[in-house]
Amino acid sequence: MDNEDNGRFLQQYIGYAVWFSEWRTLSVRALAFLLQSGEHSAEYLDSRVSAFVDSLAAKLAALGPDSFASRVEELAKARLEKPKRLRQQAAREWREIEDGMLVFDRQAAEVAELRRLTPANLADFLQEAVVDAAARRKLCIRICGHASGSGAVSNGPGSWEL
């Protein structure tokens, strides 16, 4: 379930450019997908992302306890790695100040929580916060070129055309 596997999973349906990441704004964490395709419509790409998100629970369930623990330790080690440049450390500290959070030992605190995590806890959180369509919030920005042949934009419920 690393980024390479996730990228390959999406790329098999899309066939062009796939970028998958997470980010934090204030105290809100989010998943970000950037997809580019000359072959498929924006609606199709959106449906593939939804299918991918729905498949995450099955991927998590397929992980054995040893594999889960190994991935947790890999992630913990990466989170605790010292910044290579002073600029990285300064950016991390300034983000805390700008966000008004002031949790300067965030990496250590996150790793402590990460190590307490169990596959069942993660599966419950994944189902509640990511997979469950009622709780999930999604922003989809679609940019279609002139060559796409799509003059009209189909807006679903809760979407707007700019």
129-156 pLDDT, tens digit per residue, is 887 767 777 788 877 776 655 555 555 5
- Count Cβ atoms below 10 Å from residue 18 Cβ, excluding itself: 24
Helix or strand run (H / E) with residue 120: helix 119-125
54-102 pLDDT, tens digit per residue, is 888 888 888 888 999 999 999 999 999 998 999 999 999 998 898 888 9
Distance CA 44, CA 40 (A): 6
Distance CA 61, CA 123 (A): 8
Distance CA 45, CA 37 (A): 8
DSSP 135: T
pTM: 0.63
- Count Cβ atoms below 10 Å from residue 48 Cβ, excluding itself: 21
